[in-house]
Amino acid sequence: MSASLQLPSLLSPLPGNHSRPVFRSTTRLVRCSTDRQRLFNRIAPVYDNLNDLLSLGQHRIWKRMAVSWSGAKEGDSVLDVCCGSGDLAFLLSEKVGPTGKVFGLDFSEEQLFIASSRQHLQSKLCYKNIKWIQGNALDLPFPESSFDAVTIGYGLRNVVDRQKALLELYRVLKPGSKVSVLDFNKSTNPFSTSIQEWMIDYIVVPVADSYGLANEYRYLKSSIKEFLTGEELEKLASEAGFSNAKHFEIGGGLMGNLVAVR
Ligand SMILES: C/C(=C\Cc1cc(O)c2ccccc2c1O)CCC[C@H](C)CCC[C@H](C)CCCC(C)C
Ligand SMILES: C[S@@+](CC[C@H](N)C(=O)[O-])C[C@H]1O[C@@H](n2cnc3c(N)ncnc32)[C@H](O)[C@@H]1O
């Protein structure tokens, strides 16, 4: 099974063969974009369950906050970049209602397969307004000024070029509209950092190991280390052209949400 970064495709539902990819365990999992795409394909079957279990359901609250901060409202046309299995896109769909439109974009075919299956299992009328697109966050397949709000949950940390991703988010937003960026918080407080690292080493990785995904979840710790602090995110967003870039610590400082206006 291959997923193309060059040719975004509308997936509603996803076509093709949905057999699981071969599981591999390597120590160097995430050198490039293709490695990350494979990682997210591999964890797709257990991704939602592990998020619920490991965050004790808290991730649903953080995602609601991110959607609320995006300013999406009834009738809007909105985009969720790095949508994964679709949590933020489903929440956006409820916000914009049947008269609005939601696009969920991701480069992982397996994550999109889960998102599309979830959409078809639900009877909510508004969920019919979601289109899943396989594409690259660094080269969004939309004209400029297309959206009234954009969200990206746990995505910016995972792209290989964050500045380019923010420039793309800026380009597709309508002037005056907001981007809401939810992710782990790279704290400047050593105590918060050690709690976060302890939780990943002694809770997250051992639980993931029981699914054969220890390396995939070990990646979380290194990716947070290589991520940006709230202040650095505000600076990067301002450099991409956004105004009023503000980062909020949530979940007791374990998570963060950047909000910025085009
Ligand atoms: C939805 C959450 C994380 C998504 C996520 C993001 C990634 O970049 C990954 C990369 C590789 C593998 C998995 C992921 C991934 O799942 C957030 C919630 C779940 C987290 C998996 C675990 C949370 C660990 C916190 C430090 C603990 C919070 C505890 C709580 C406040 C009780
Ligand atoms: C941790 S998941 C987050 C999924 C979802 N937003 C959530 O909050 O649960 C990160 C997602 O980003 C996607 N992703 C990473 N880099 C990407 C890129 N360059 N283009 C498109 N999707 C990307 C991955 O495939 C994965 O589904």
pLDDT digits (tens, 9 = 90+) for 192-241: 999 999 999 999 999 999 999 999 999 999 999 999 999 999 999 999 99
Q: How many domains does the chain have?
A: 1
Distance from first CA to last CA of the chain, Å, rounded?
Answer: 37
Q: Residue 7 pLDDT more than 70?
A: no
231 belongs to a structural domain: yes
Percent of the chain with pLDDT over 70: 88
- The residue ranges of DSSP E strands in 114-167, in sequence order, are 130-134, 147-153
Flag whether 83 is in a domain: yes
- For ligand 1, atom 21, which residue shows the shortest CA distance? 51
For position 189, which CATH number holds?
3.40.50.150
Q: Which residues pair with 134 in a beta bridge?
A: 9, 106
pLDDT at site 122: 85
Let me know if residue 15 belongs to a domain.
Answer: no
Query: Is residue 63 over pLDDT 80?
Result: yes
Residue 128 lies in a domain: yes
Closest Cα to atom 28 of ligand 1: 55
pLDDT at position 152, please? 99
Q: What is the mean pLDDT of the chain?
A: 90
pTM of the model: 0.90
* Distance of CA 134 from the midpoint of ligand 1 (Å): 23
In a domain, 4, yes or no: no
Residues in contact with 75: Cβ distance below 8 Å, sequence separation at least 6, in sequence order? 96, 97, 99, 100
Please check whether residue 3 lies inside any domain of the structure. Answer: no
Domain membership of residue 206 as a residue range: 21-261
Q: Which of 42, 51, 81, 181 best tests ligand 1's pocket when mutated (most atoms within 8 Å of CB)?
A: 51
In a domain, 228, yes or no: yes
Q: What is the mean pLDDT of residues 51-73?
A: 98
What are the pLDDT digits (tens) for 135-168? Answer: 999 999 999 999 999 999 999 999 999 999 999 9
Q: Ligand 1 pocket test: which of 35, 46, 54 has the largest number of ligand atoms within 8 Å of its C-beta?
A: 54
Q: How far is it, in rounded angstroms, from Cα 147 to Cα 170? A: 10
Q: Is pLDDT at 41 greater than 50 in this prediction?
A: yes
* Domain-located, residue 191: yes
